[in-house]
Structure 1
Amino acid sequence: METVETLHMNKGVDETSYAMNSFLQRKIILLTNQATKKAIVEILCSTKRWPIMKMGIADLGCSSGPNALSVISEIVEAINETSSMMNQTAPKELMLYMNDLFTNDFNNIFASLPSFHKKLRQDMGYNNHDNHNGSNCFVSAVPGTFYGRLFPTKSLHFVHSSSSLHWLSQVPRGLEDERGKGLNKGKLYISKSSPNCVLKAYSQQFKNDFSQFLESRSQEMVHGGRMVLSFMGRESMDPTSPNCCYQWELLAQALMTLVLEGLVEEEKVDSFNAPYYTPCFEELKMEIEKEGSFMVDSHEAYEIDWDTGIELQSGGDTMSSGERVAKTLRAVVESMLEYHFGSHIMDELFQRYAKHVEDHLSKTRTKCINLVISLVKRQ
């Protein structure tokens, strides 16, 4: 299964949509703000020729909903603030590229563009009829996988990606035996009971994908350009550590209760493997050094509660932690599960998953690990 065919966040703005259930991802974006601002300052301060006429900026894996344009807004704000601080004219034109897979809900982004431009004008203190020193922003959608070329050679100054690079380009090969039976029985992802060959297959697929990602960006970015990447990862070298795989473990347990009741075939569970991988920094560093086009400027690891981000919601909230976590995960993975298991079990599956999560969190506060890494394109 290739993710380009089956992976997309839930579309629209209903109660199971990504737009309404992406507070965790918003929290992660907020954690990367300082790294993003620092990267923008470094790009502008290291530029020898002013004024810069054009800057190419890409948000890879932008998805949809309120988070998508908030990232771009913060980048534009950082550019204008830095230019003002340096007493220099801001870049005349900002080419802002929003990238995600072909199945992404780009219409949601397009519908928000008028309010985006209005807010930008208000923040910069000008209106449609003013002459101003701010940048002109040109927003474009660029559909396609970031595990390959997306942009012209040396057209990008800054690349941002949040909550995306833990998604693989495809399910790893080698997860079936010679008869085509799943080797990772009763599981959806790496777990403590997974055979060693499963762990190796996932690790190799991530290395292949991340190397391809770096190679593609190295051709598209200018010398001295910067990337800020954040994604789910782990601090431990152990790929089966609870911080990086236990949500998938609980989802598998919920599915297996449906198997026991005859609502899902066990072989269906055995044959599903999530195209997902949470690396540790050592794995990232090895691939970065091997590819050779970038050097690491900084890296951080943050512990995040499974139900974090709820404080960003407006209005009252009566959901349990289990229900909140279930809605967040459903908005992200439902498209893949529906493709494999059918839509008819989704409501029941995530109701059961919510109960499993609630029970788990009542006993221990397992955390997610989010890695943030800032890279510089070598000269």
Structure 2
Amino acid sequence: MGLHMNASDEEASYAKNSSLQRKVISLTKALRDELITSLYCNTLPKSLAIADLGCSSGPNTLLVISEFIKVVENLCRKFNQKSPEYKVSLNDLPENDFNSVFKSLEIFKKKLIDEMETKMGSCYFFGVPGSFYDRIFPEKSLHFVHSSYSLHWLSRVPEGVDNHNKGNIYLSTTSPSNVLKAYYKQFQNDFSIFLACRAKELVEGGCMILTFMGRQNDDPSNKECCYSWDLMTIALKDMVLLGIIDEEKLDTFNIPNYYPSPSEVKLEVLKEGSFAINKLEISEVNWNAVDHWEALDIESEISKSFKDDGYNMTQCMRAVTEPLLVCHFGDSVIEEIFERYKNILTDRMSKERTKFTNLTLSLTKKS
């Protein structure tokens, strides 16, 4: 399917275009710290096994791991406890640039040790390639699981969507009801499998923090969650009209995403039954990852910043979608797709406040 981030040495790579994802991670820090504190205080473990699912490669990959260790080390000092050893598993699909991650580990460890006021526990790293919609760890081997901006990616394009969603690449107001149902069913299947797999891999009392792109509106084809794909569809349709892309190619291209509502997420957790929901928080982040509307009040500066943002948002989307587009449409049209997309984004972002909605779920495995 071509579902992986752009490699780390490219200008349109995820590593160079992941500031939006970093902001989302920062927004969820308080909830993470609260759960880590609860986990540590309830168990006082001699070792802690942590997994980051959908870790990708780049500046965000080890950010949560670093923050996790700092919270635990501060708690150790507070309660005069010996530091645990840390077993850190980094998971993503096999196509992920794990080599870049491994090359950065020595610098990461040195920086972390320098930032700690006292000696910290030993830290061991493991790369775990594979889909998290399957078992990827031994039974009862994990204490804490984190995943950010990965679970809205489905394991596949829903069955029966090809040629039934003509003129769209994702859910839209013009998508027929059977397409909406197929996407929701795929999300239900995938998320249920994810929860069941993690339930086997986590120890009793183990915890998860999961952040999705989602929606607050009950309608899965609402602009709130579909707008970025609608604008890409406009670019692709223009290229169909010009004969650059074949119309049949467009009609058979669908993005394997689903942005769930809070009630849809809660329902699957309750149905699977292995986890207690601690909290479910909703947050928003601007497409540009910087709140220019509040920060700037000079019209010319706003105009300039939004031109830059059109480029930044394009690069962000390109980092996560280019492999899918290349796999379906080929290499030759990619530059034009994203040039047209950038122009459309620049225009819309200069006129509207464009935001993504995020759902962050704090879970504890039941005894």
Q: Which of the five TM-score ranges fits, normalised by the shorter chain? A: over 0.9
Distance 1:82 1:292 in 2: 31
Counterpart for residue 41 of structure 2:
45
One-letter identity of the residue aligned with 1:11: A
One-letter identity of the residue aligned with 1:355: N
Distance 2:75 2:32 in 1: 12
Counterpart for residue 300 of structure 1:
281
Q: How far did residue 300 of structure 1 move? A: 0.9
Q: Deviations over 1:74-100 (max 9, x none)?
A: 111111112222222221x11100000
Q: How far did residue 310 of structure 1 move? A: 8.8
Counterpart for residue 331 of structure 1:
319
Q: Secondary structure at the match of 2:109?
A: helix
Distance 2:97 2:306 in 1: 28
1:18 equivalent to 2:14? Answer yes
Of the three residues 105, 108, 111, the one matched with 2:103 is 111
Q: Deviations over 1:336-357 (max 9, x none)?
A: 1100001111111111001111
Distance 1:88 1:200 in 2: 52
Deviating above 4 A after TM superposition, structure 1's stretches of 4 or more consecutive aligned residues are: 316-319
Size of the aligned set, in residue pairs, is 356
Q: How far did residue 319 of structure 1 move? A: 5.4
Alpha-carbon spacing, 1:206–1:273, altered in 2? closer, same or farther (3 Å)? same
Distance 1:310 1:222 in 2: 40
> Could you tell me whether the CA contact under 8 Å between 1:24 and 1:310 is conserved in 2?
no
1:61 equivalent to 2:42? Answer no
Query: Percent same amino acid at aligned positions?
Result: 47
Instruction: Mark the runs of 5 or more structure 2 residues left unpaired by the alignment.
Output: 293-303
Root-mean-square deviation (CA, aligned residues, Å) is: 1.6
Counterpart for residue 87 of structure 1:
80
Distance 1:309 1:76 in 2: 28
> Could you tell me whether the CA contact under 8 Å between 1:221 and 1:377 is conserved in 2?
yes
Q: How far did residue 295 of structure 1 move? A: 1.0
Distance 1:80 1:8 in 2: 34
Q: Deviations over 1:107-147 (max 9, x none)?
A: 11011111101111101246xxxxx3x21110110000000
Q: How far did residue 246 of structure 1 move? A: 0.6
Distance 1:64 1:183 in 2: 35
Q: Secondary structure at the match of 2:90?
A: strand
> Could you tell me whether the CA contact under 8 Å between 2:306 and 2:346 is conserved in 1?
no
Counterpart for residue 91 of structure 2:
99
Q: How far did residue 320 of structure 1 move? A: 2.0
Alpha-carbon spacing, 1:309–1:269, altered in 2? closer, same or farther (3 Å)? same
One-letter identity of the residue aligned with 1:242: K
Counterpart for residue 230 of structure 1:
211
Of the three residues 138, 141, 148, the one matched with 1:155 is 141
TM-score using structure 2 length: 0.94
Q: How far did residue 248 of structure 1 move? A: 0.4
Of the three residues 126, 132, 139, the one matched with 1:146 is 132
Q: Secondary structure at the match of 2:132?
A: coil
Q: Deviations over 1:223-272 (max 9, x none)?
A: 11110010100011110111211100000110111111110001101001
Distance 2:3 2:41 in 1: 39
Instruction: Mark the runs of 5 or more structure 1 residues left unpaired by the alignment.
Output: 127-131, 177-181
Q: Secondary structure at the match of 2:280?
A: strand
> Could you tell me whether the CA contact under 8 Å between 2:217 and 2:224 is conserved in 1?
no
1:76 equivalent to 2:69? Answer yes
Distance 2:81 2:195 in 1: 32
Distance 1:187 1:144 in 2: 30
TM-score using structure 1 length: 0.91
> Could you tell me whether the CA contact under 8 Å between 1:26 and 1:309 is conserved in 2?
no
> Could you tell me whether the CA contact under 8 Å between 2:306 and 2:349 is conserved in 1?
no
Q: Secondary structure at the match of 1:67?
A: coil
Counterpart for residue 295 of structure 2:
none
Question: How does 1:242-281 map onto structure 2 within 5 Å?
Answer: 242-281=223-262
Q: Secondary structure at the match of 1:283?
A: helix
Q: Deviations over 1:150-181 (max 9, x none)?
A: 111111000000010000000000214xxxxx
One-letter identity of the residue aligned with 2:101: I
Distance 1:337 1:272 in 2: 9
